[in-house]
Amino acid sequence: DAMRQAAGGAESQGNAALEELNRATRRIEDARNAGIDEGVRQLAETAAELEQRQRSIAEDVRRMQGTSGAERAEQLRQLAERKDGLSGDVERLERDADQLARDGRRDQPGAARALGEAAETLRDQRVRDKIQFSKTVMRGGSPEYANSFEGQIADNIAEAGENLREA
């Protein structure tokens, strides 16, 4: 009889331990999902900020078109620096979206797909290349083409941001 009680006690202890492991697993998965959700939110905010920076650059390119000489040269230099910074930040956004998509593929496949689409949008539309090329366009292209090109870059970043907000 004592052996049966001991066996029953061991079984209940085993069940309690298994239940505790299951609860711990759920807490870890919940924390991972919360981390992915927070990462998506941060990436969406970053995309909105990058879009705003690009729209500000586009406005400054429009304003610069009426200048000449040393003033124009200084504005071109400053705009080129801002574009280089923006290009690096777009590259970081693309890389971070890819990483978060990989991290979330198992637990949040829908969000992972949207994150992958955002990174793919930036790659497919060659946003970083456009930013770099736009430095040449603003130096010597027609004002209409420069304005159109700057708007296109902002729209491309906005599209990636929309994909992130949908995640």
Which are the contacts of 147, defined by CB distance < 8 A and separation ≥ 6? 58, 61, 62
Distance CA 140, CA 147 (A): 12
- What pLDDT is recorded for position 36? 80
Task: Provide CB contacts within 8 A for 75, sequence distance 6+.
Answer: 60, 64, 67
pLDDT of residue 17: 65
pLDDT of residue 107: 80
Burial class (CB in 10 A: 0-12, 13-18, 19+), 60: middle
pLDDT tens by residue, the chain, 167 residues = 555 554 555 566 666 666 766 676 566 565 565 668 888 899 999 999 999 999 999 999 999 988 888 999 999 999 999 999 999 999 999 999 999 999 888 888 888 888 999 999 999 999 999 999 999 999 887 889 999 999 999 999 999 999 898 87
In angstroms, rounded to a whole number, what is the distance separating the alpha carbons of residues 90 and 87?
A: 5
| Contacts of residue 94, Cβ cutoff 8 Å, sequence gap at least 6 | 119, 122, 123, 128
The pTM of the full predicted model, rounded to 2 decimals, is 0.78
- CB within 8 Å of 167: residues ≥ 6 apart: 40, 44, 110, 111, 112, 114, 115, 118
The answer to whether residues 142 and 120 touch, using CB atoms and an 8 Å cutoff, is no
